[in-house]
Amino acid sequence: MKRIFYVACAALLLAACAGGQQRGMVGSAYVSTSRPSLAIEANNMPLATAGEGTANLTASGMLGGLPVRVWLAVYGDAKTANPAIAITAHAEVPRGWYWDGIMRRPFSVNDGMEVFGDVAYQAYTYIVDPKRDPFSVFMESETKSESDPKQWMARAFAARYNFYDDKIVLEYREPLPEGIVSLSALPMGLGDAVAAFEQRARAAFSVGQPPAGSVRREYAATVRWRYMDERFLGTVSKYDSFAR
C-alpha cells in the first residue's frame, strides 16, 4: 500500500515539473499557465508590444522601492482613424508581500464590478495623465507634441489572484472627447459619451483558459518602466510574518 502511495506522489511531482509555470505570449494572447491559469487578449486590436519587466513600488516603504515582476501586453494604434489602446498587466509581488485592496484613482467615476473569466474585477473610469504614464509612447499622435500631449480616457479593471500574490490589471483607453475636462461634470450633449465608452471597454477583452502552444518570453522595451509603479499597479503591504 505504501509503495502505491509513493508511486502516486512521484507521478504527481513529475507531472508538475513537466508542466511548470509559464508566463508570456501565445500568438497575440497573454498566457499564464498557473497561479492564475488564464489567457487574455484584446479583441480586434493589433498587438503593439509584449514582454516582461520590473516595476518599482516606491510607496512600499522599502529603501529604493520594492521590485515587482510584471508581464505586459499592449494592443492598438493611436495613429489610426479610431485610435484606442488596450493594456494587460500581470504583476507578482515578492514573497512576504501582498497586494492591497483595489482602490479607485482620485477623480475617477463609475465604480463597479465586471466579470472576466468567472472572476469579478473592480472597475472605474478616469482621465489619464500622460506626463508620468508608462504607456504614453503608445498614445502619441502626429498632431500633438510632447509639450502638448493628447488627453485620453481610461476604463480600468483589476483583480487579485493567488492569495493576493498576483494582480491582473486590464485597461482600455480612447482619446478624451473634445469639450470634456472632468468626468464628474460632463458638458451638455456628451452625457452618454462615458457610458458608451465603458461598454466598448468591457467588450475589448477576452479572458479564457490558456491555449496550446509554446510561450514566448520577451522584454517590452517601449514601455516607460521608470513610471511603472503603484499609480498604475496599486499598493502593497508586508505580512507581519513570512510564515504563510
Omega before 36 cis (within 30°)? yes
pLDDT band, very low/low/confident/very high, at 244 (cuts 50, 70, 90): low
Check pLDDT > 90 for residue 114: yes
To the question of pTM greater than 0.85 for the whole model, the response is yes
109, HSE (Cβ side, Cα atoms, 13 Å): 12
Higher-confidence position of 217 and 73:
73
Instruction: Output 175 or 10, whichever has higher pLDDT.
Output: 175
Give me the pLDDT at residue 16, please: 39
- Across residues 148-165, what is the average pLDDT? 91
Mean pLDDT of 19-39: 93
SS (H, E, C) 97-157: EEECCCCCCCCCEEEEEEEECCEEEEEEEEEECHHHCCCHHHHCCCCCCCCCCCCEEEEEE
Task: Give bridge partners of residue 156 from the DSSP assignment.
Answer: 124, 171
The three cell numbers locating residue 11: 507521478
Strand order in the sheet with 37-42: 23-26, 29-33, 37-42, 205-208
Q: In the structure grid, which three cell numbers stand for residue 131, read together?
A: 506626463
- Rounded CA-CA distance 97/236 in Å is 7
Q: Is 232 left (phi over 0), alpha (psi -120 to 50) or beta?
A: alpha
| Beta strand spans in the chain (E) | 23-26, 29-33, 37-42, 47-57, 66-77, 84-92, 97-99, 109-116, 119-128, 152-161, 166-175, 205-208, 236-238
Please state the domain extents for the chain: 20-238
Residue with cell 479593471: 157
Mean pLDDT of 202-230: 93
Mean pLDDT of the chain: 88
Burial class (CB in 10 A: 0-12, 13-18, 19+), 225: middle
Task: Kindly state the cell numbers that stand for 123.
Answer: 472597475
